[in-house]
Amino acid sequence: MPEYALWTNDVETTSIWMNALRDDTGERVLRQGMPELLDIYDRFGIATTFYFTYYIAKKFPDVVRMAVGNGHEVASHGKSHLKENGFDVMPFERQRRHLDEAKKLLEDLSGQEVTGFRAPALRVNGDTARALIETGYRIDSSIASQRFDFFMSFGARKKLKWLTAPRKPYKTDPNNLFRKGEGPLVEVPLSALVFPYLGTTMRVFPGLTNVQRHAIHAESRRTGKPVVFDMHPNELIDESDKVRTIARRTCNPVAYLFQDWLRARLKVRNLGPAARPLYEKQIAFFKKRGYRSVTVTQYCREVGLL
């Protein structure tokens, strides 16, 4: 069986520069971030999966059409990245409604069946698996097995379950995304070795990411676990022409220190054009070693999970 490298993308209106949701950032994602990212994938000749929030798809529908036109898969990233729309705090019926609305909009825009989901900020709770199943989703990718930087993001306590979650893709327990089971929903965990293997770590700690990459490659060769990387088109845009203010999203002083103030300062490293060569280096590493890069749904079909 070939080794797989799955390049996935979360598309939203989050301004990394301002640490806030901004329509102006969504416009820049449409005009700058998406074309840049799609050009990278075209250069390497690979198909990927894009997880769109309902909000950006509704506000800027061409971001979805661009992905489809370039041969990529469309998947759901929930309704929005607002803190109160986290799937770890919403009750079952509200989760179900958000999932259903996002699925219908994305299918209307893309002409594709939407089977995949990734929770905003990877925040889920005990109702999320059932809500996904009942709204027709077949694949989740909200778990980052053995990731340990969750104290810097919202929903940290529930993310403790990442430490014991299986590392390889698995059929889930119908009532628990973090456990194997016989349910109809497949979990495709994001790659992590203490720190997540994604665009933020790549930009903030490029040396660490290079070490990670070799370790993840060795694990994939040994166990068959796919590489699952998470990139954002807003990482490829430059908003430094705007006067910077860091939005405060919590009243808790400790949470503000880690989740807003410190996180916001770290996350602007290598933001914008400097991120492109760093990302191309990751893709080139696995392509050179013969990894197969397909959409998340195609991967699940090829390995017999769907």
Of 172 and 147, which is predicted with more confidence?
A: 172
Q: Which of 94, 29, 37 is nearest to 56 (CA)?
A: 29
Q: Measure the CA–CA gap between 185 and 295, rounded to whole angstroms.
A: 17
Give per-residue pLDDT as tens, 276-298.
999 999 999 999 999 999 999 99
pLDDT above 90 for 245: no
Instruction: Give the mean model confidence (pLDDT) for residues 215-228.
Output: 97
The predicted model scores a pTM of: 0.92
Fold designation for 5-302: TIM Barrel (3.20.20)
pLDDT, residue 253, reads 57
pLDDT, residue 153, reads 57
Is residue 161 very low, low, confident or very high in pLDDT (cuts 50, 70, 90)?
A: confident
In contact, 62 and 27? CB cutoff 8 Å: no
Give per-residue pLDDT as tens, 82-135.
989 999 999 999 999 999 999 999 999 999 999 999 999 999 999 999 999 999
The answer to which of 139-143, 259-263, 293-297 has the lowest mean pLDDT is: 259-263
Residue ranges per structural domain of the chain: 5-302
Give per-residue pLDDT as tens, 4-15.
999 999 999 999
